Amino acid sequence: MFFEIDVSNGVPVYEQGARQIKFAIADGAFEPGQLIPSVRELARELAINPNTVARSYRDLQDQQVIESVRGTGLAVTKSAPTTCRSDRIRVAREHIKNAIGQALRSRLSQDEVLEIVQEELKRVQQN
């Protein structure tokens, strides 16, 4: 599997877990109707507590990204791919907006902001 958890970066483990599942769905790695890894299985793989995984999965159920099939497991909902994809874009957009808003409030000029953005895009491109 391709999941990774960083316990030391402040972001709650259960959120990281939920986000990775949503990313996997957005990327088509999990299709509607398909069962996602069981609580115990994912907990073993990520070396975290099953309850923490359960918390991730509960949140995903609240968001109607997965649904419980009794005694069988948790399955990706029909609407999940769409919501996961749009979620991802929406969140990214939100962060960019916040960062820019804060930069302008910090007296950076529009040109300076644009320059930082282009710098960063170029830097990432090289890696």
Partner DNA sequence: GTGGTCTAGACCACG
Partner DNA sequence: GTGGTCTAGACCACC
Site residues (vs a second copy, CB under 8 A): 7-8, 10, 12-13, 23, 26-27, 62, 67, 69-70, 72, 88-89, 91-93, 95-104, 106-108, 110, 113-114, 116-118, 120-121, 124-125
Report the amino acid identity of residue 59.
D
4 binds, among DNA, a second copy, none (CB under 5 to 8 A by kind): none
Residue 36 Cβ vs DNA, minimum distance, rounded to whole Å: 7
Q: Does residue 57 interact with DNA by CB under 7 A?
A: yes
Q: Does residue 71 interact with DNA by CB under 7 A?
A: yes
Q: Does residue 73 interact with DNA by CB under 7 A?
A: yes
**By C-alpha distance, which of 83, 86, 89 is closest to 60?**
83
Candidates 69-77, 91-99, 102-110, 112-120 — which segment interacts with DNA by CB under 7 A?
A: 69-77
| Virtual torsion, Cα 37, 1, 78, 80, nearest 10 deg | 110
Q: Does residue 18 interact with DNA by CB under 7 A?
A: no
Contact between 44 and 84 under an 8 Å Cβ cutoff? The reply is no
For 22-91, the three-class secondary structure string (H helix, E strand, C coil) is: HHHHHCCCCCCCCECCCHHHHHHHHCCCHHHHHHHHHHHHHCCCEEEECCCEEEECCCHHHHHHHHHHHH
Residues that bind DNA (CB under 7 A): 7, 12-15, 38-41, 48-52, 54-55, 57-58, 61, 68, 70-74
